[in-house]
């Protein structure tokens, strides 16, 4: 009889990709993906350490899970992801209900650990070994693919922004070999994937050298462009410093690269960017923005902002606000600075909580107002949507437009995996609601 496994995933797209790869791997041990958390043989918590009380959230989740299994046989409980990497042994000491702690660069060992797991014999595995990890996964078919699929091309970070845990939890930058990425992409396309989202903590820092040349992310985009079955290409998350000419050029030469760039700036003040060790100025960011807009005016930008970084004055904050008004970002994220253990900024003097909340509100008011205005301008327009799936328990379809907005509409399930025209009839800040146009099957 097959064994049941459930992975609960927090954090960024890379964790989502990793969870799916773990599912692919444990299948070889006879595990099948369970839809719920009851009667499991193995429970994995794939964690994120980027902000706030990440560690406490994990113990809270384990406590909740423990209650669920009070009167049942305990499954193997695994903590994976960035909290596992940061906390390692400590977690096993503090919560004996946890059996295995495994960091993101050790997932190639997960089958071994599960296969040889003996009750009460706790395991901790947090080495950085990206080469072995990807070599292992290169031989496992990526089966958890959907219409839109993530594909990790680069992992880790050498930039060490003062606020960020990623260099400590994901390790140094590592770029996968070009041909391995392409064969994984071919496999995805063969399985019906229509959109590939190239992933990396610094995805545009991708650099792989073989004897002939250095491959960059632009080479991957250009190669993917040639697969007729593939309709859309995206990448995330990029760093302003690595927006090189060859990548910018793709916004004019590629028909499949979507006209949407998520390019975090964090602050509109050069003083704060310097304190953050961001390695770029506001002016350099605007230059990249304007160059891309010039070669393709359809391109829209979104960004990430950290509010109330230690030392941020009202003037610095107003610089961020002005930048937001000037560049008109769509779909952006904003967070109050959260001190992370082990990072350079962790011991700096925090800005008053009430001031920080007020600043965040002001930033979000501006971001959201613009987002809603933009969405409203789409009412009665017909837009191109890649249909991803049917919505749970609803007779509606879900897809995305070129700018990653969610689009919800009535339609036939035959539309799934196709590009169709949807007329927008209503919107809110986050989603567009529409109806399908006649003769849509031909629009694919």
- For ligand SAM, the binding residues (CB under 6 A) are 12, 50-51, 163-164, 166, 201-202, 237, 239, 264, 266, 304, 306, 335, 337-338, 340
Q: Does 201 bind ligand SF4 (CB under 6 A)?
A: yes
Choice between 219 and 242, CB closer to ligand SF4: 242
Q: Judged by CB, which is closer to ligand F3S: 14, or 385?
A: 14
Choose from ligand F3S, ligand SAM, ligand SF4, none: what does 306 bind? Cβ within 5-8 Å by kind: ligand SAM
Least gap, CB of 228 to ligand SF4 (angstroms): 34
- Single out the residue of 229, 139, 221, 149 nearest to residue 180, CA to CA: 139
User: Which lies closer to ligand SAM via its Cβ, residue 4 or residue 280?
Assistant: 280
The answer to whether residue 345 forms part of the interface with ligand SF4 (CB under 6 A) is no
| 239 is an interface residue for ligand SF4 by CB under 6 A | yes
Task: Count Cβ atoms within 10 A of the Cβ of residue 13 and give its class: 0-12 exposed, 13-18 middle, 19 or more buried.
Answer: middle
Report the half-sphere exposure of 326 (CA within 13 A, side-chain side): 13
Q: Coil, helix or strand for 332?
A: coil
Q: How far is the CB of 338 from ligand F3S (least distance, A)?
A: 11
- Residue 304: contacted member of ligand SF4, ligand F3S, ligand SAM, none (CB under 5 to 8 Å, by partner type): ligand SAM
- Report strand pairing: 174-175 vs 154-155: antiparallel
> Residue 369 in 3-state DSSP?
helix
From the list 81, 277, 238, 308, the residue with the least C-alpha distance to 160 is: 277
CB 49 within 8 A of CB 165: yes
Near ligand F3S in 178-197, by CB under 6 A? none
Least distance (Å) from ligand SAM to the CB of residue 155?
11
Told to check if 48 binds ligand F3S by CB under 6 A, we report: yes
Q: Which residue is nearest to ligand F3S (CB)?
A: 11
SS (H, E, C) 203-263: HHHCEEECCCCEEEHHHHHHHHHCCCCCCEEEEECCCHHHCCHHHHHHHHHCCCECCEEEC
Q: How far is the CB of 18 from ligand F3S (least distance, A)?
A: 9
Nearer to ligand SF4, 336 or 378 (CB): 336
Of the pair 23, 337, the CB lying nearest ligand SF4 is at 337
Write phi, then psi, for 363 (nearest 5 degrees): -65, -45
Judged by beta carbon, residue 192 or residue 341, the one nearer ligand F3S is: 341
The Cα–Cα gap between 280 and 238 comes to: 13
Per rule CB under 6 A, is residue 82 in the interface with ligand F3S?
Answer: yes
Rounded distance between C-alpha atoms, residue 196 and residue 146, angstroms:
10
Q: Which of 44, 157, 197, 323 binds ligand SF4 (CB under 6 A)?
A: 157
**Interface with ligand SF4, residue 159, by CB under 6 A:** yes
Instruction: Please tell me whether residue 81 binds ligand F3S under the rule CB under 6 A.
Output: yes
Report which residue's Cβ sits closest to ligand SAM.
Answer: 264
CB of 348 to ligand SAM, least distance (A): 11
CB 267 within 8 A of CB 230: no
Binding segment for ligand F3S among 23-31, 162-170, 222-230, 389-397 (CB under 6 A)? 162-170
CA 343-347-352 angle, 5° bins: 120
Separation in Å, CA 51 to CA 78, 163, 353, 418 = 21, 10, 15, 37
Residue among 161 and 416 whose Cβ is closer to ligand SF4: 161
Residues that bind ligand SF4 (CB under 6 A): 157, 159-161, 164, 166-167, 201-202, 239
């Amino acid at each position: 009889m097959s064994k049941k496994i459930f992975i609960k995933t927090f954090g960024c797209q890379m964790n989502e990709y990793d969870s799916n790869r773990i599912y692919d791997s444990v299948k070889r041990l006879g595990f099948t993906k369970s839809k719920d958390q009851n009667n499991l043989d193995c429970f994995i918590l794939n964690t994120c350490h980027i902000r706030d009380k990440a560690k406490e959230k994990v113990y809270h989740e384990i406590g909740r899970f423990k209650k669920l299994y009070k009167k049942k046989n305990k499954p193997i409980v695994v903590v994976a992801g960035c909290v596992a990497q940061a906390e390692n042994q400590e977690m096993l000491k503090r919560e004996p209900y946890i059996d295995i702690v495994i960091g993101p660069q050790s997932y190639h060992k997960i089958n071994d650990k599960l296969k040889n797991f003996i009750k009460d014999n706790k395991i901790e595995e947090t080495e950085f070994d990206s080469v072995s990890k990807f070599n292992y996964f290169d031989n496992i078919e990526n089966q958890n693919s959907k219409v839109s699929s993530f594909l990790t091309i680069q992992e880790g970070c050498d930039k060490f922004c003062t606020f960020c845990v990623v260099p400590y939890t994901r390790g140094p930058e590592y770029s996968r070999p070009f041909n391995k990425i392409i064969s994984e992409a071919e496999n995805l396309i063969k399985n019906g994937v229509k959109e590939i989202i190239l992933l990396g903590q610094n995805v545009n820092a991708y650099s792989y050298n073989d004897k002939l040349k250095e491959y960059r992310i632009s080479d991957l985009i250009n190669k993917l462009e040639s697969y007729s079955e593939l309709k859309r290409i995206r990448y995330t998350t990029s760093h302003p410093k690595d927006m090189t000419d060859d990548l910018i050029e793709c916004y004019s030469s590629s028909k499949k690269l979507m006209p949407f760039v998520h390019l975090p700036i964090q602050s509109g003040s050069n003083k704060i960017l310097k304190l953050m060790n961001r390695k770029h100025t506001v002016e350099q960011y605007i230059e990249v923005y304007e160059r891309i807009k010039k070669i393709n005016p359809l391109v829209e930008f979104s960004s990430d902002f950290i509010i109330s970084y230690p030392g941020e004055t009202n003037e610095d904050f107003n610089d961020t606000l002005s930048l937001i008004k000037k560049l008109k970002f769509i779909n952006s994220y904003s967070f109050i600075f959260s001190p992370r253990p082990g990072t350079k900024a962790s011991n700096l003097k925090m800005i008053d909580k009430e001031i920080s909340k007020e600043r965040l509100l002001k930033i979000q008011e501006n971001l959201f107002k613009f987002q809603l205005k933009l969405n409203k301008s789409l009412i009665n327009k017909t837009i191109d949507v890649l249909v991803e799936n049917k919505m749970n328990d609803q007779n509606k379809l879900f897809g995305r437009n070129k700018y990653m907005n969610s689009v919800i509409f009535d339609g036939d399930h035959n539309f799934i995996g196709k590009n169709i025209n949807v007329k927008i009839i209503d919107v809110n800040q986050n989603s567009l609601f529409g109806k399908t146009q006649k003769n849509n099957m031909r629009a694919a």
